[in-house]
Amino acid sequence: MRFTIFQESRRGSRKVNQDRIAYTYGRDTLLLVICDGMGGHAGGEIAAQICARLFIERFQQEAKPVLRNPLKFLQDTMQRAHAALGSYANQFSMLETPRTTCVAVVVQAGHAYWAHVGDSRFYLFRQGGLIAQTKDHSKVQYLVDQGLIGAHEVVTHPDRNKIFSCLGGLVEPIVDLSKRTPLRNGDVMVLCTDGLWSVMPQNEMATWLTSTPILKTAPQMMREAEKRGGPEGDNLSTIVVRWGADLATEQASTATVTESLGLGEFETAIEKTVTLTDRAGANRDLTDDEIERAIQEIQSTIQKYRR
């Protein structure tokens, strides 16, 4: 495999960044995942952390050297993450189950597979055009589908933050799965949270990313999006991948080539720290010891659901 990858998460104007982004790849397969924690600071951050790390750990267990069934892996891991969040809430008597949106992508044998819950999105661009896009599990998307509002009204609608499917919570999540989709050299895959797509329309995103080196323009796009968010701006996160062996617009030295990896070896990028400001129902900062204990609790929960 050969690809160029960029990832970044920005806090925006929020006190804490509840987004989590991660990727990992072996010689023959790649996983990308973004989670956007929902609710109180502690709950949202915990949910996103558990979900992202569970994806990474299960992928590294199952990809030997590739996944047998990528779509089944994506669906199963989403379900496990949902169960893990409920277990975490019960174990530590949380007043509300931690919740998160999630979008995850697997690429192997030149094909992409993706799944999502909530309103974190995946886009596939080809030569500046949109080839595929996830559909949000949200009230405003339902209104668009029913013809009650236009797509241009989504960002400013008063119900834009109402999500009807997520990981965690009291109801089983709706997990949407893609078809097996072939990739071509130069295709651009984008995963992002609503903090980005709500201020950066897809046509602008395509302009930023499909005709110029992504390692130059993706950071510029993120800075512009954070500026547009203003004083009320949300956390915003993205992973951008330009796919293919003939990356004419990228410098050869910036491309990732996986052929040199041995069987069972993985390269991984994931945020492993937690910066909780408060527990659900507690209006105080946590001490360093409490944060460390929360990290241990999260890892203990992940271990139960990784197999």
- Residue 269 has a CB neighbour count (10 Å cut-off) of 13
Distance CA 183, CA 94 (A): 43
Owner of token pair 């945020």: 271
Quote the pLDDT of residue 3.
Answer: 96
Beta carbons within 8 Å of 243's beta carbon, 6+ residues apart: 3, 107, 183, 184, 185, 186, 187, 188, 189
Phi first, then psi, for residue 151 (nearest 5°) are: -60, -30
Query: What radius of gyration, in Å, describes the C-alpha atoms of the chain?
Result: 19
Percent of all residues in the chain with a pLDDT value above 90, rounded to a whole number? 67
Evaluated on CA atoms 242, 191, 8, 291, the torsion sign reads negative
User: Is the confidence at residue 278, as pLDDT, over 60?
Assistant: no
Give the C-alpha separation, 294 to 74, whole Å. 26
Q: Would you place residue 170 in the very low, low, confident or very high pLDDT band (cuts 50, 70, 90)?
A: confident
pLDDT of 279 strictly over 70 = no
Per the structure, the count of domains in the chain is 1
- Cβ contacts of 161 within 8 Å, gap of 6 or more: none
> What sign does the dihedral 151-215-8-297 (CA atoms) show?
positive
pLDDT digits (tens, 9 = 90+) for 150-168: 666 666 666 667 788 999 9
Q: In the predicted model, what is the mean pLDDT of residues 293-299?
A: 86
**pLDDT at site 71:** 98
Kindly tell me if the per-residue pLDDT of 19 is higher than 80. yes
State the pLDDT confidence band at 276, using cuts at 50, 70 and 90.
confident
Residue 67 pLDDT: 98
Burial annotation 222-237 (CB, 10 A radius, 16+ → b, else e): beebbeebeeebbbbb
**CATH code at position 101:** 3.60.40.10
Is pLDDT above 70 for 288? Answer: yes
CA dist 198 and 156 (Å) reads 9
Chain Cα centroid distance, residue 109: 22
152 DSSP 8-state letter: G
Mean pLDDT to the nearest integer, 93-118: 95
Say how many Å lie between the first and final Cα of the chain, rounded. Answer: 27
Q: How do residues 192-251 score in pLDDT, each as one tens digit?
A: 999 999 999 999 999 999 888 999 999 999 999 999 999 989 999 999 999 986 555 556
For helices 41-62 and 70-91, the axis angle rounded to 10 degrees is 140
pLDDT of residue 280 exceeding 60, the answer is no
The one-letter amino acid at 122: F
Distance CA(31)–CA(122), nearest Å, equals 13
Work out the angle between the directed axes of helices 202-209 and 214-229 (0-180°, nearest 10): 150
Strand partners, 117: 102
The letter for the amino acid at 87 is S
Of 152, 117, 122, 154, the residue nearest 137 (C-alpha): 117
Domain of residue 184 covers: 2-305
Highest mean pLDDT: which of 1-15, 89-103, 149-163, 274-288? 1-15
Q: Check pLDDT > 60 for residue 281.
A: no
| Whether residue 74 has pLDDT greater than 60 | yes
